[in-house]
């Protein structure tokens, strides 16, 4: 309704989106549309809330809970479009708008969260919930909404509410500053190589890419290495020049730790202090207690118990890997292993043990083939298909669009794929996000979902397609798993749509399990020039070599998870508090191998200081327990595409999201709670 009343304005963000399947009109949206649209949408959202609170009729599920659930959809849609733009095409203009918009939006939502009249009506419904004859999803919506208001301070007195609002605003703007600093530092540092000898060990692809980067930077004839992952990781793995490896790793590991305008150490300290204050205002002992209450894990003890169960086996296996590394490095007369040596000598050790070169393997993983392999798995499991759609608006010229078609021929929505690196413009890593969730409107009509997955894979060049590493391939399966969950969710209320943080990685990580199954590889892993299917012998080596290195992988990952937990489990800030001293101390106490850095060091730990994974980074491991256990459900039947198991998985988990407690949903699918054994076995840590 709200959309109709303002369709006369010229702002495409405020109009009804009538393009194919309701995708955003990317071709008509320009940065200057965002602020006015957000301001208008906030007004509309306020009017919707006002209508709920000024209703004279007694509060009930329909006039209060359902009306609240449907409010703010326009604003939500605009914010999603903006956030997506910010992460895939960040410019100075967008960054400036973001700085202006972020406090405005966060103030708006805290005002709603602290709206006493609104909470009064929600509480009125909550207090009589057992006499209303509610359906289970209505009860879930009511209970979760009520709880989330309480957790945001609805039961606090006026003074404390003010304090909380102030704290939340400060956190929001510091988090933004944190991520902008990181983007700046990552984009601005480069290593320029002008001596060809310094390229020794690097692949031809890498060298071509580095030459193109130099060309683009106005330095033709030289080579440029950046701090983005597709540049830094291969360099650390293969550059023979040890001094340069150390230089690159130093720059990488000291991002936002250079005592300049982009330094994040004080920002981190402030963020932690503010979150501590927030937990105290709300009556929790620590911020970790506050954050975990509504998760599947529920308590810090449950998280620590999982991380500790993995930590010692991971260290043990990493120690054995270090012995191998030392043996190889000794041939180069290197006695003291530097962290910048780990990946390099590990690759040599791996090549000696398994003789699989990543470059050779990559030739079987052409981007388009991997993508089709991913579609193949989705089709075998759920009968859904993905059809390419051309000529519709796309978020970036790099992006492709696909329509997801269900078994009955109906459309589940649009999936964009924007998978190639754009250093300095696109955030690093890979992710899945949405432009529009596939919810239901007031009349019970389902909206198509509009989902995007984004990556930083190597771009195709003029004479070579984009070739993915096995890691990239796994990442691609991962993000697609998120997208599939979003496309297959079938939830009546917006408020019940979306997995809790430590459940959300189950669909993505489970999907990775199919990536390297011989049966699946035979479908898609074809040599990019000859079309030859990857030889089984190479597949077996690949599987064996995949298990090699899990000690390092698990150690750097769990180290970062422990850092997240430790930082947010403090009852008070030690005085003086230096984040790097804290990092060193907590890692040393746990016996982290000194040649391994945590996967993220504190000044660039984006997940927990900006991206909402605070007290949530453990979720990947938590979900890892779930995904290995869930995959076991398929394997136990002897058929990785078992239709009954797939149907139960779709029915009990993918389509339900948060309509029930995550553990209850899992048990309905699996028949029992997850066991940690399949994970340890999968990682070779048992
Ligand atoms: Zn994920």
- The Cα diameter of the chain in Å comes to 83
Distance (angstroms) between ligand 1 centre and the Cα of 283 equals: 31
Report how far residue 155's alpha carbon sits from residue 141's, in angstroms, rounded to the nearest whole number.
19
Q: H-type helices in 406-513, by residue range?
A: 470-488, 505-512
Find, among 629, 594, 600, the residue nearest to 614 by Cα: 600
Report how far residue 481's alpha carbon sits from residue 485's, in angstroms, rounded to the nearest whole number.
6
Report how far residue 218's alpha carbon sits from residue 370's, in angstroms, rounded to the nearest whole number.
34
Q: H-type helices in 202-264, by residue range?
A: 204-216, 229-238, 242-253
Distance (angstroms) between ligand 1 centre and the Cα of 143 equals: 27
Tokens of 260: 């300049």
Distance (angstroms) between ligand 1 centre and the Cα of 336 equals: 36
Distance (angstroms) between ligand 1 centre and the Cα of 429 equals: 10
Q: Tell me the β-bridge partners of 361.
A: none
Q: Is 432 helix (H, G, I), strand (E, B) or coil?
A: strand
pLDDT at 165 (0 to 100): 86
Neighbour-count burial for 292-301, b at 16+ CB within 10 Å, e otherwise: bebbbbeebe
Report the length, in residues, of the chain: 686
Residue with tokens 């402030």: 270
Residue 644, number of CB atoms within 10 A of its CB: 11
Find, among 567, 613, 615, the residue nearest to 289 by Cα: 615
CATH of domain 2-113+115-151: 1.10.1370.40
DSSP string, 329-371: HHHTT--S--HHHHHHHHHHHHHHHH---HHHHHTT-BHHHHH
Tokens of 486: 């979003």
Find, among 601, 615, 608, 617, the residue nearest to 263 by Cα: 601
Distance (angstroms) between ligand 1 centre and the Cα of 626 equals: 14
Domain boundaries 362-547, CATH class: mainly alpha
CA neighbours within 13 Å on the CB side: how many for 105?
Answer: 24
- pLDDT tens profile 322-360: 999 999 999 999 999 999 999 999 999 998 888 777 778
Residue 679, number of CB atoms within 10 A of its CB: 23
Active-site positions read: 479
Q: In what order do the strands lie in the sheet with 400-405?
A: 385-388, 400-405, 411-420, 449-457, 431-436
- Type and span of the H or E element at 453: strand 449-457
Distance (angstroms) between ligand 1 centre and the Cα of 602 equals: 20
pLDDT at 109 (0 to 100): 92
Distance (angstroms) between ligand 1 centre and the Cα of 436 equals: 18
Residue 107, number of CB atoms within 10 A of its CB: 14
pLDDT at 329 (0 to 100): 97
Are the C-beta atoms of 439 and 497 separated by less than 8 Å?
yes
* pTM: predicted TM-score of the whole model, two decimal places: 0.84
DSSP letter assigned to residue 459: P
Cα dihedral across residues 36, 42, 43, 44: positive or negative: positive
pLDDT at 1 (0 to 100): 38
Report how far residue 649's alpha carbon sits from residue 668's, in angstroms, rounded to the nearest whole number.
9
* List of the chain residues with pLDDT < 70: 1-9
Q: H-type helices in 54-115, by residue range?
A: 67-70, 73-88, 92-113
Distance (angstroms) between ligand 1 centre and the Cα of 611 equals: 12
Distance (angstroms) between ligand 1 centre and the Cα of 430 equals: 8
Report how far residue 3's alpha carbon sits from residue 57's, in angstroms, rounded to the nearest whole number.
26
Residue with tokens 């959300």: 504
Tokens of 651: 């029915």
Distance (angstroms) between ligand 1 centre and the Cα of 116 equals: 36
Report how far residue 50's alpha carbon sits from residue 52's, in angstroms, rounded to the nearest whole number.
5
Neighbour-count burial for 305-336, b at 16+ CB within 10 Å, e otherwise: ebbebbbebbbebbeebbebbbebbeeeebee
Q: Where are the domains of the chain?
A: 2-113+115-151, 189-253, 362-547
């Amino acid at each position: 309704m709200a959309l109709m009343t303002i369709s006369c304005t010229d702002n495409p963000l405020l109009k009804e989106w009538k393009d194919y399947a309701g995708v955003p009109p990317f071709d008509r949206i320009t940065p200057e549309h965002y602020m006015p649209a957000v301001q208008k949408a906030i007004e509309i959202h306020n009017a919707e809330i006002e209508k709920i609170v000024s209703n004279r009729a007694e509060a009930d599920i329909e006039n209060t809970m359902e009306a609240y659930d449907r409010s703010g959809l326009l604003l939500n849609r605009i914010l999603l479009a903006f956030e997506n733009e910010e992460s895939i095409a960040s410019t100075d203009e967008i960054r400036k708008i973001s700085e202006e918009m972020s406090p405005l939006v966060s103030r708006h939502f805290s005002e709603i969260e602290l709206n006493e009249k609104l909470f009064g009506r929600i509480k009125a419904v909550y207090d009589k919930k057992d006499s209303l004859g509610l359906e289970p999803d209505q009860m879930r919506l009511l209970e979760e909404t009520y709880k989330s208001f309480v957790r945001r301070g609805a039961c606090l007195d006026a003074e404390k509410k003010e304090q909380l609002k102030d704290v939340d605003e400060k956190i929001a703007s510091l988090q933004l500053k944190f991520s902008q600093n990181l983007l700046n530092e990552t984009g601005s540092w480069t290593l320029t190589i002008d001596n060809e000898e310094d390229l020794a060990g690097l692949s031809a692809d890498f060298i071509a890419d580095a030459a193109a980067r130099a060309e683009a930077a106005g330095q033709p004839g030289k080579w440029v290495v950046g701090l983005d992952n597709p540049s830094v990781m291969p360099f650390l793995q293969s550059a023979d020049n040890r001094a340069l490896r150390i230089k690159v790793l130093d720059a990488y590991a000291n991002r936002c730790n250079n005592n300049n305008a982009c330094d994040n150490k004080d920002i981190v300290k402030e963020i932690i202090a503010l979150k501590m204050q927030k937990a105290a205002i709300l009556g929790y002992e620590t911020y970790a207690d506050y954050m975990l209450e509504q998760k599947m894990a529920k308590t810090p003890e449950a998280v620590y118990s999982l991380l500790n169960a993995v930590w010692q086996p991971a260290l043990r296996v990493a120690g054995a890997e270090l012995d191998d590394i030392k043996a190889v490095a000794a041939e180069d007369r290197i006695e003291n292993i530097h962290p910048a040596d780990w990946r390099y000598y590990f690759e040599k050790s791996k090549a000696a043990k398994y003789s699989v070169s990543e470059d050779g393997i990559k030739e079987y993983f052409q981007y388009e083939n991997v993508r089709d392999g991913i579609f193949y798995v989705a089709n075998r499991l759920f009968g859904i298909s993905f059809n390419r759609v051309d000529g519709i608006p796309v978020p970036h010229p790099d992006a492709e669009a696909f329509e997801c078609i269900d078994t009955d021929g109906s459309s589940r929505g649009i999936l964009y794929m924007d998978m190639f690196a754009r250093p300095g413009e696109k955030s690093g890593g890979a992710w899945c996000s949405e432009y529009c969730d596939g919810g239901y409107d007031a009349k019970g009509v389902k909206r198509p979902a509009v989902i995007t997955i984004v990556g930083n894979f190597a771009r195709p060049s003029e004479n070579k397609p984009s070739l993915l590493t096995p890691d990239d391939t796994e990442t691609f399966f991962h993000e697609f798993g998120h997208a599939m969950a979003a496309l297959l969710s079938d939830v009546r209320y917006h408020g019940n749509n979306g997995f809790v943080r430590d459940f959300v990685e189950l669909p993505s990580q489970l999907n990775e399990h199919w990536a390297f199954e011989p049966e699946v590889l035979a479908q898609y892993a074809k040599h990019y020039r000859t079309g030859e299917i990857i030889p089984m012998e190479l597949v077996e080596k690949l599987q064996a070599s995949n298990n090699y290195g899990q000690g390092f992988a698990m150690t750097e990952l769990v180290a970062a998870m422990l850092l997240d937990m430790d930082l947010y489990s403090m009852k008070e800030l030690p005085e003086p508090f230096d984040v790097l001293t804290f990092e060193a101390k907590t890692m040393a106490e746990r016996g982290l191998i000194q040649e391994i850095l945590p996967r993220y060091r504190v000044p660039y730990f984006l997940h927990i200081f900006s991206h909402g994974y605070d007290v949530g980074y453990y979720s990947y491991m938590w979900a890892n327990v779930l995904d290995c256990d869930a995959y076991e459900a398929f394997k136990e039947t002897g058929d990785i595409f078992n239709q009954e198991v797939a149907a139960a998985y779709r029915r009990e988990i993918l389509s339900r999201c948060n309509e029930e407690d995550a553990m209850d949903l899992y048990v309905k699918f699996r028949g029992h709670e997850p066991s940690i054994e399949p994970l340890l076995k999968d990682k070779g840590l048992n």
